[in-house]
């Protein structure tokens, strides 16, 4: 209730009759808030009611963000949220906008190996703030404080919910390496009961969107776990055959097997937690049946192109865009997202969502969005071609290929020009003895 009043500009926080403007005490407060924890929170909240603080607000918020991002224990994070609420109830949006910006910056920051602790903490705090009514949308950030990556979200998706958008972005980054696994697992450990509760703590649409996203991600994680296990089994088998044949295994081959085994354990650990928290079945790993003793079995396996029936279906059973448009449930269209945008904004949002595809189920919605909302003209065609020829990451090339196949009848000129562009790129690479694996992946 108090946060709701603060959001409306009423600022209900109770203050001392005379606020202390002492430089020493206000400076001391900034140091305390930078080292915030469960033990110090009560004293910090008390000082919020006693000190002037206004002159030092920007420094206070920067120090608060720094202190919050160091937290990991649940008690400390809970205490940090209480301090955030107290400051919000006293200063309103003067606190919410810059603090949200610092936290969003921490979430979008990427390390190629694994997420930093501050990314996990920032995601939890941003969602807590959303639940408590202290900012939920990118539009509520302070754009001048956002980093370049965060500003792209602000520019293109102002009306989007921060948590859902950034979780989806995290999930799609280095998906096959499980980059976001630890972050999503810790997020779900904290909020699983809240997200699945039958009450009004979280608005119904947000609850539904989060659950769908988390379930889809978990299913994909389980698929990757099985794929990695199958690949590890095959590689391990080849190494054992090499050992019998030559009496040794090359060190780099054994290192690859060991690294794959570690990755499987990592996926299994987190996938089990995700399934438990979402009440999903945790399937056992399947060992591919092989019968190499039968005549011709080895030859058949060598000729087999697809890893399994599911992969074969993904590439061969591709619906035509006309069938998708005819059968798609119109109620699932994101009218609120696209309805009021200009043509250029629609294309920007569409390419952003295309870049963040999570699995094959997203493709039908993406196809519908293109046919319902995106004006198809020369500029749009060139934008689509540019998007596919300048792919930043290879995680989704299989999804992009399926999307192009679904819509090949609709924009044959896009397919032709894309193939020509890729062909020119390959010829250049062959000439200069270099390889661009992004182009190679899409062409394949």
Give the pLDDT confidence of 71-101 residue by residue, as tens digits.
Answer: 999 999 999 999 999 999 999 999 999 999 9
DSSP code of residue 284: P
> pLDDT tens across 289-302, in order?
554 444 444 444 43
Tokens describing residue 272: 């089990």
- Rounded to whole angstroms, the Cα distance separating 101 from 109 reads 12
3-state secondary structure of 429: helix
**pLDDT at position 302, please?**
39
Q: Can you give the three-state secondary structure of 293-349, one letter per residue?
A: CCCCHHHHHHHCCCCCHHHHHHHHCCCCHHHHHHHCCHHHCCHHHHCCCCHHHHHHH
- Whether the CB-CB separation of 159 and 337 falls below 8 Å is answered with yes
H/E segment holding residue 279: none
CA distances from 277 to 176, 204, 206, 283 (A): 22, 19, 18, 15
Neighbour-count burial of 321, counting CB atoms closer than 10 A to its CB (0-12 exposed, 13-18 middle, 19+ buried) = buried
Tokens describing residue 399: 């999804």
Q: Which of 173, 181, 186, 360 is nearest to 264 (CA)?
A: 181
Tokens describing residue 368: 């519908």
Q: Which of 396, 385, 405, 403 is nearest to 441 (CA)?
A: 396
DSSP code of residue 278: T
Tokens describing residue 187: 């997020």
H-only helix segments in 177-292: 181-196, 204-246, 251-277
- Give the angle subtended at the CA of 108 by the CAs of 103 and 109, to the nearest 5°: 95
**Sign, CA torsion 136/138/141/145:** positive
Cβ partners under 8 Å of residue 253, min gap 6: 235, 239, 242
Tally of CB atoms within 10 A around 258: 11
Kindly state the greatest CA–CA separation across the chain.
Answer: 93
**pLDDT at position 83, please?**
96
Burial call 126-139: b when 16+ CB within 10 Å, e when fewer: bbbbbbbbbbbbbe
- Rounded to whole angstroms, the Cα distance separating 350 from 366 reads 8
- Rounded to whole angstroms, the Cα distance separating 422 from 273 reads 42
**pLDDT at position 303, please?**
42
Residue that has been written with the tokens 């940090």 in this structure? 80
HSE (side-chain half, CA atoms, 13 Å) at 434: 7
Q: How far, in whole angstroms, is CA 94 from its chain's centroid?
A: 28
Tokens describing residue 274: 């995700």
**Which residues face 161 on adjacent strands?**
137
**pLDDT at position 294, please?**
46
Radius of gyration (C-alpha) of the chain in whole angstroms: 26
pTM higher than 0.75: no
Q: Which of 121, 86, 83 is nearest to 102 (CA)?
A: 121
- Rounded to whole angstroms, the Cα distance separating 21 from 369 reads 56
**pLDDT at position 272, please?**
96
**pLDDT at position 394, please?**
72
Q: pLDDT tens digits, the chain, 444 residues: what are they? A: 566 666 656 666 788 778 889 999 999 999 999 999 999 999 999 999 999 999 999 999 999 999 999 999 999 999 999 999 999 999 999 999 999 999 999 999 887 666 778 999 999 999 999 999 998 999 999 999 999 999 999 999 999 999 999 999 999 998 998 999 999 999 999 999 999 988 778 888 899 999 999 999 999 999 999 999 998 888 888 877 766 665 566 677 778 888 888 999 999 999 999 999 999 999 998 876 554 444 444 444 434 567 788 888 888 899 999 999 999 998 888 888 888 889 999 999 999 888 888 888 889 999 999 999 999 999 999 999 998 888 776 778 889 999 999 999 999 999 999 888 877 776 665 555 444 545 544 554
């Amino acid at each position: 209730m108090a946060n709701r009043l603060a959001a409306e500009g009423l600022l209900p926080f109770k203050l001392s009759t005379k606020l202390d403007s002492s430089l020493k005490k206000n400076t001391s407060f900034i140091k305390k808030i930078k080292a915030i924890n469960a033990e110090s929170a009560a004293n910090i909240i008390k000082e919020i009611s006693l000190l002037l603080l206004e002159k030092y607000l920007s420094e206070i918020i920067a120090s608060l963000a720094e202190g919050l991002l160091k937290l990991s224990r649940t008690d400390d994070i809970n205490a940090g949220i209480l301090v955030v609420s107290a400051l919000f109830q006293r200063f309103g949006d003067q606190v919410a906008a810059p603090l949200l910006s610092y936290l969003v910056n921490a979430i979008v920051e990427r390390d190629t190996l694994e997420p930093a602790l501050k990314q996990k903490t920032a995601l939890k705090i941003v969602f807590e703030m959303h639940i408590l009514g202290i900012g939920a949308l990118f539009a509520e950030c302070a754009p001048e404080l956002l980093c370049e990556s965060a500003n792209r979200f602000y520019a293109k998706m102002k009306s989007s919910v921060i948590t859902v958008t950034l979780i989806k972005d995290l999930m799609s980054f280095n998906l096959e390496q499980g980059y976001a696994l630890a972050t999503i697992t810790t997020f779900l450990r904290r909020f699983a009961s809240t997200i699945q509760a039958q009450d009004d703590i979280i608005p119904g649409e947000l609850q539904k969107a989060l659950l769908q996203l988390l379930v889809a991600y978990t299913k994909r994680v389980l698929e990757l776990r099985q794929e990695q296990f199958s690949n590890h089994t095959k590689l391990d088998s080849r190494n054992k055959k090499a050992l019998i044949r030559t009496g040794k295994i090359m060190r780099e081959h054994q290192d690859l097997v060991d690294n794959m085994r570690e990755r499987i354990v990592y996926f299994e650990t987190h996938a089990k937690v995700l399934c438990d928290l979402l009440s999903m079945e945790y399937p056992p790993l399947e060992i591919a049946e092989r019968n190499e003793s039968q005549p011709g079995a080895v030859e058949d396996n060598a000729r087999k192109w697809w890893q399994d029936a599911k992969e074969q279906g993904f590439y061969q059973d591709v619906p035509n865009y006309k069938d998708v448009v005819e059968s798609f449930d119109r109620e699932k269209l994101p009218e609120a997202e696209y309805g009021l945008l200009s043509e250029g904004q629609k294309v920007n949002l569409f390419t952003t969502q295309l870049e963040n595809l999570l699995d094959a189920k997203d493709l039908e919605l993406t196809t519908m969005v293109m046919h319902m909302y995106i004006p198809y003209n020369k500029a749009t065609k060139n934008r689509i071609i540019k998007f596919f020829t300048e792919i930043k990451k290879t995680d989704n090339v299989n999804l992009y290929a399926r999307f192009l196949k679904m819509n090949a009848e609709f924009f044959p000129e896009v397919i032709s020009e894309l193939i020509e562009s890729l062909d020119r790129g390959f010829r250049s690479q062959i000439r200069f003895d270099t390889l661009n694996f992004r182009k190679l992946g899409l062409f394949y």
